[in-house]
């Protein structure tokens, strides 16, 4: 596990103590002893260090089973002379390489063209780079003599990303980045922006803020409307459920076979039973009287022979009273 950045070559001596015998590519691919790793060298500018650089270094590191990767980085003076202006200075580019996981050692102020003396000094076995001819410094291919010596091992370029592509994006979207950095507190002088452009960018930033506020209000209003619709839908659904429940309870109570009808029938039966006369018992106990005479109330007259005169009526009343006395 790597826990520290790669060392600089000028701060340490070469760690390869074994005799540096020349290797062929076939011998290197078969594997070498642990104390004799294959020393692979890769160089470049590595400005705006990106994944394309890292993938090239990964390929250089894994060319052979046992390898030690040295990476040479050219200085600012040499780069500006032969290639052009860089975004990152040499110190930043050195540090970027030191923190790549595939790099074992970084060589600062690397030469533009590799000399036999440089290869011997760092005990380099092979040089890794993409196979496209690199014309520079008055040469059609700066790696031509390395290829002729059988020390060149090609790597594959990563399509779709390069330092030039990244710079092109920045130049294309210059206004956007200038406005963003002005908004973050950078001055027009730091960004090399004229007074008129500064005012224009600041006005555009204000317009963008207003657009963002309007957009936020629209989104919030849409969210509010959505919540209201969702709430109303829930209320309608609950109202429908309650109405069904109410109708079911009403029918259960007042329907054709509901509880109210049964209760009404029960109460009606009780009232009819209360108002209807009771039947007299079939046998009743007799008093201790003479069986020949049945008492009759004194006011009951004999319907067969009504009194013909008041005297006769008084006579009949007197005879009834006498009869009562006899009973007593």
Please list, in sequence order, all residues whose beta carbon lies within 8 angstroms of the beta carbon of residue 124, skipping any fewer than 6 positions away. 39, 40, 41, 70, 118, 151
pLDDT tens for each residue of 98-107? 999 999 999 9
Which residue spans within 91-234 are E strands per DSSP?
Answer: 105-108, 126-130, 152-155
The whole-angstrom separation of Cα 126 and Cα 121 is 14
Computed over every residue of the chain, the mean pLDDT equals 81
The whole-angstrom separation of Cα 41 and Cα 60 is 8
pLDDT tens for each residue of 5-56? 999 998 876 555 555 788 899 999 998 888 899 999 999 999 999 999 999 9
The whole-angstrom separation of Cα 151 and Cα 54 is 22
pLDDT tens for each residue of 257-271? 767 667 777 777 777
Lowest average pLDDT, out of 139-143, 229-233, 273-277, 312-316, goes to 312-316
Pick the CATH number of 25-155 from 3.40.50.880, 3.40.50.300, 3.40.50.620, 1.10.150.120: 3.40.50.620
Query: 69 near 98, Cβ under 8 Å?
Result: no
- pLDDT exceeds cutoff 50 at 83: yes
Domain boundaries, the chain: 25-155, 163-259
Shortest CA distance to 54 belongs to which of 101, 3, 105, 117?
101
The whole-angstrom separation of Cα 109 and Cα 203 is 45
Q: Which helix H or strand E contains 73, and what residues bound it?
A: strand 67-73
Confidence grade of residue 218 (pLDDT, cut at 50, 70, 90): confident
Shortest CA distance to 69 belongs to which of 91, 96, 98, 92?
98
Crossing angle for the helix pair 163-172 and 174-183, to the nearest 10 degrees: 70
- pLDDT exceeds cutoff 50 at 92: yes
* pLDDT, average across residues 118-144: 89
């Amino acid at each position: 596990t790597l826990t520290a950045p790669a060392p600089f070559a000028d701060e340490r001596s070469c760690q390869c103590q074994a005799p540096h015998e020349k290797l062929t590519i076939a011998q290197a691919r078969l594997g070498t002893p642990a104390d004799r790793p294959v020393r692979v060298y890769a160089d470049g500018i590595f400005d705006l260090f990106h994944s394309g650089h890292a993938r090239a270094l990964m390929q250089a590191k894994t060319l052979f089973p046992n390898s030690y990767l040295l990476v040479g980085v050219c200085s600012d003076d040499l780069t500006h002379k032969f290639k052009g202006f860089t975004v990152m200075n040499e110190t930043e580019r050195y540090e970027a390489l030191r923190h790549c996981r595939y790099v074992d050692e970084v060589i600062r102020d690397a030469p533009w063209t590799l000399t036999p003396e440089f290869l011997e000094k760092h005990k380099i076995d092979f040089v890794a780079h993409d196979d496209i001819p690199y014309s520079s410094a008055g040469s059609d291919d700066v790696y031509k003599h390395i290829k002729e010596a059988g020390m060149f091992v090609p790597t594959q370029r990563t399509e779709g990303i390069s330092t030039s592509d990244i710079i092109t994006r920045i130049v294309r979207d210059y206004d956007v980045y200038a406005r963003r950095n002005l908004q973050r507190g950078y001055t027009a002088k730091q960004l090399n922006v004229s007074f008129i452009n500064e005012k224009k960018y600041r006005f555009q930033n204000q317009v963008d803020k207003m657009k963002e506020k309007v957009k936020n209000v629209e989104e919030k209003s849409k969210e509010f409307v959505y919540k209201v619709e969702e709430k109303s839908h829930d209320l309608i659904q609950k109202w429908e459920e309650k109405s069904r429940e109410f109708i079911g309870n009403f029918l259960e109570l007042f329907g054709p076979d509901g509880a109210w009808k049964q209760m009404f029938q029960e109460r009606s039966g009780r009232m009819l039973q209360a108002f209807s006369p009771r039947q007299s018992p079939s046998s009743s106990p007799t008093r201790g009287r003479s069986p020949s005479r049945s008492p009759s109330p004194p006011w009951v007259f004999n319907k067969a022979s009504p009194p013909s005169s008041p005297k006769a009526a008084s006579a009949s009343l007197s005879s009834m009273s006498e009869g009562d006395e006899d009973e007593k």
